[in-house]
């Protein structure tokens, strides 16, 4: 996307502006992205991008086209992290501009309105796929160079080593993979097992490159997981028009993550009748509030729209819902059974980085100088993630076995909730 920049200074300025803190009223539809950017003027600049061309409009006084604000807005949208909300209707200032452009185009073409052009849509998709293919080919060469030079030297690389590789992926419209590459720059210095972690991720990244080249032969589920990894978003209208399932959905666990840019929440649901485990993703700008609150331990009688992919799948609430209170954890496994389920899911989607675990009757066992472990009745144990505050777990369990729900990340459990006095409690 930065290839659209009129010069290097505009590209650098756009990167510095691509943070939610300077933006408000962000949103997008299938064809438009818009937002308001606070600049040197008293009133924020109104910025709109038509994704079909792309075409830009900004109320700033810059004579460069596109200006840094339009480029920064595209970067925020391409990150696909929920910062730019997916909405049904455009903001008035964006809609007015789009309407004016449509009228000018209609007058120029000698007709009052233009119908959707499937041929143009196919051309745009082909152009995006071509851009992604070129970016992934370059990324593959970067991977080969990294392995050829040896992994031992990566810790001596400056942060720009990873940032540059990630930026090239963003330019190639592969923002999801770019985010994983960018995160690796910190992981190689922070993790004691950095070498094994890096080697694992390099294998997954290379698998993504090879899978992209064979995308025409992938199943809808496989292609869905690949698109999610690469960061090619799907419109909510597309998902709502696709596969749906109705059930009584138990809210098993909630996990929030926040950084200087974004507040995100994962809500894990379990279908009482279907036995499916799904996740709802909610996003808000840092310091904001989530649009869809969920109550731990409640049961939603609702229809969900499912994203294409292997289990556990992402879902959207697809209609009215009735909320009742639930008791306990409706599903729980022994440690071996939970690991078997995790292995099955990972085999279906090798890019899974968080796997839900529901464990039955595990005892929290802290250890001096070593990590806390969860032990089931047969003596099978799983390590708890380093840095976890285990005191709430110990207080709620009292040293007795409890049913627990958590996320399995990098072969460690991140507890989310436990059953206490018959109800799920957040930890």
Mean pLDDT of 254-278: 87
Determine the average pLDDT of the residues in 5-32.
85
Q: Which of 50-64, 227-241, 279-293, 315-329 has the lowest mean pLDDT?
A: 279-293
Looking at residue 169, its pLDDT comes to: 92
Determine the pLDDT at residue 260. Answer: 62
Mean of pLDDT over the chain: 89
87 and 28 Cβ atoms separated by less than 8 Å: yes
Whether the predicted pLDDT of 15 surpasses 90: no
Give the pLDDT confidence score for residue 79 in this predicted structure.
80
pLDDT of residue 61: 78
Q: Is the pLDDT of residue 292 over 70?
A: no
State in words which class domain 335-426 has: mainly beta
Strand order in the sheet with 23-28: 23-28, 32-37, 45-50, 55-58
The confidence score (pLDDT) of residue 283 equals: 77
**What per-residue confidence (pLDDT) applies to 31?**
84
Percentage of the chain exceeding pLDDT 90: 57
Q: Convert the pLDDT of each residue in 139-181 to its tens digit.
A: 999 999 999 999 999 999 998 999 999 989 988 889 899 999 9
> Given a cut of 50, is residue 227 above it in pLDDT?
yes
What is the rounded CA–CA span in Å between residue 18 and residue 37? Answer: 10
Q: How many angstroms separate the Cα of 398 from the Cα of each of 98, 162, 228, 297? A: 61, 45, 41, 21
Mean pLDDT of 94-107: 81
For residue 110, pLDDT beyond 70: no
Burial of 404 (0-12, 13-18, 19+ CB in 10 A): buried
The whole-number average pLDDT for the span 236-256 is: 93
Q: In the prediction, which pLDDT does 108 show?
A: 66
Question: C-alpha dihedral over 383, 359, 341, 318, to 10 degrees?
Answer: -120
Query: Topology of domain 236-325, per CATH?
Result: OB fold (Dihydrolipoamide Acetyltransferase, E2P) (2.40.50)
> What is the average per-residue pLDDT within 62-71?
86
The answer, yes or no, to whether residue 206 has pLDDT greater than 60, is: yes
Domain 236-325 and domain 335-426, same fold? Reply is yes
In the prediction, which pLDDT does 288 show? Answer: 62
What is the rounded CA–CA span in Å between residue 41 and residue 26? Answer: 19
Q: What is the mean pLDDT of residues 334-352?
A: 96
Report the alpha-carbon distance of residue 167 to residue 260 in Å, rounded: 19
Is the pLDDT reported for residue 414 higher than 60?
Answer: yes
Mean pLDDT of 315-331: 90
Per-residue confidence (pLDDT) for residue 85, from 0 to 100: 82
| 347-379 residue pLDDT tens | 999 999 999 999 999 999 987 667 899 999 999
Contact between residue 93 and residue 34 where contact means Cβ atoms under 8 Å apart: yes
**∠ at Cα 32 (26, 33), nearest 5°?**
25
Structure confidence at residue 345 (pLDDT): 97
Query: What is the C-alpha to C-alpha distance for residues 73 and 20, in angstroms, rounded to an integer?
Result: 10
CA-based nearest residue to 54, from 22, 7, 98: 98
User: Does pLDDT of 2 surpass 70?
Assistant: no
Look at residue 182 in the predicted model and tell me its pLDDT. 92
pLDDT higher for 289 or 68?
Answer: 68
Say how far apart CA 401 and CA 332 lie, in whole Å: 13
The pLDDT of residue 261: 63
What pTM was computed for the model? 0.73
183-191 long-range contacts (CB < 8 A, ≥24 apart) are 185/159, 185/161, 188/154, 188/155, 189/155
Q: Count of CB atoms within 10 A of residue 294's CB? A: 19
CA pair distance 210, 136, nearest whole angstrom = 9
Closest CA to 169 of 179, 161, 159: 179
Which carries the bigger pLDDT value, residue 287 or residue 409?
A: 409
Q: What is the pLDDT of residue 90?
A: 84
pLDDT at 219: 96
Residue 111 banded pLDDT, cuts 50, 70, 90: very low
**Domain residue extents for the chain:** 2-109, 129-230, 236-325, 335-426
- Alpha-carbon distance of 138 to 150, in angstroms, equals 19
Is 60 exceeded by the pLDDT of residue 332?
Answer: yes
For position 113, what pLDDT does the model report? 46
| Residue 82 confidence (pLDDT) above 80 | no
Compute CA distances 25 → 32, 55, 56, 84, 94, whole Å.
Answer: 13, 19, 17, 9, 11
Check residue 116 and give its pLDDT: 59
């Amino acid at each position: 996307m930065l290839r659209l920049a009129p010069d290097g200074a505009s590209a650098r300025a756009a990167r510095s502006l691509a943070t939610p803190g300077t933006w408000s009223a962000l949103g997008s539809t299938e064809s438009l992205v818009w937002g308001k950017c606070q600049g040197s003027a008293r009133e924020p600049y109104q910025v709109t991008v038509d994704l079909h061309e792309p075409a830009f409009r900004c109320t700033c006084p810059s004579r460069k086209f596109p200006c840094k604000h339009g480029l920064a807005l595209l970067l925020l949208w391409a990150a696909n992290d929920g910062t730019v909300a997916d909405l049904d209707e455009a903001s008035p200032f964006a809609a007015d501009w789009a309407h004016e452009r449509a009228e000018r185009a209609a007058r120029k073409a000698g007709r009052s309105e233009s119908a959707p052009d499937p041929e143009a849509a196919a051309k745009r998709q082909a152009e995006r796929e071509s851009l992604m293919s070129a970016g992934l080919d370059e990324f593959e060469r970067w991977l080969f160079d990294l392995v050829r030079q040896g992994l031992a030297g990566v810790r001596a690389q400056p942060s720009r080593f990873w940032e540059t590789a990630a930026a090239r992926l963003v330019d190639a419209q592969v923002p999801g993979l770019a985010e994983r590459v960018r995160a690796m720059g910190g992981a190689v210095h922070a993790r004691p097992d950095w070498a094994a972690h890096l080697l694992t991720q390099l294998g997954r990244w290379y698998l993504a490159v090879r899978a992209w080249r064979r995308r025409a032969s992938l199943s809808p589920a496989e292609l869905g997981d690949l698109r999610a990894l690469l960061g090619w978003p799907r419109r909510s209208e597309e998902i709502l028009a696709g596969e749906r399932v109705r059930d009584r959905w138990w809210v098993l666990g909630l996990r929030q993550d926040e950084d200087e840019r974004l507040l995100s929440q994962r809500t894990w649901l379990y279908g009482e009748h279907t036995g499916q485990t799904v996740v709802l993703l909610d996003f808000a700008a840092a310091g904001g509030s989530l649009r869809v609150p969920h109550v731990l331990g409640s049961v939603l009688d609702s229809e969900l729209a499912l994203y294409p992919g292997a289990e556990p799948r992402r879902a959207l609430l697809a209609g009215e819902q009735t909320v009742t209170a639930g008791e306990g954890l409706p599903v729980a496994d022994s440690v071996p059974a939970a690991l078997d389920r995790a292995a099955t899911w990972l085999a279906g989607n090798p890019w899974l980085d968080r796997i839900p675990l529901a464990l039955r009757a595990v005892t929290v066992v802290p250890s001096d100088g070593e990590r806390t472990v969860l032990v089931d009745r047969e003596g099978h144990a799983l390590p708890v993630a380093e840095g976890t505050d285990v005191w709430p777990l110990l207080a709620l369990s009292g040293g007795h076995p409890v049913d627990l729900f958590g996320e399995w990340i990098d072969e460690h459990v991140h507890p989310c909730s436990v059953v206490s006095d018959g109800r799920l409690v957040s930890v």
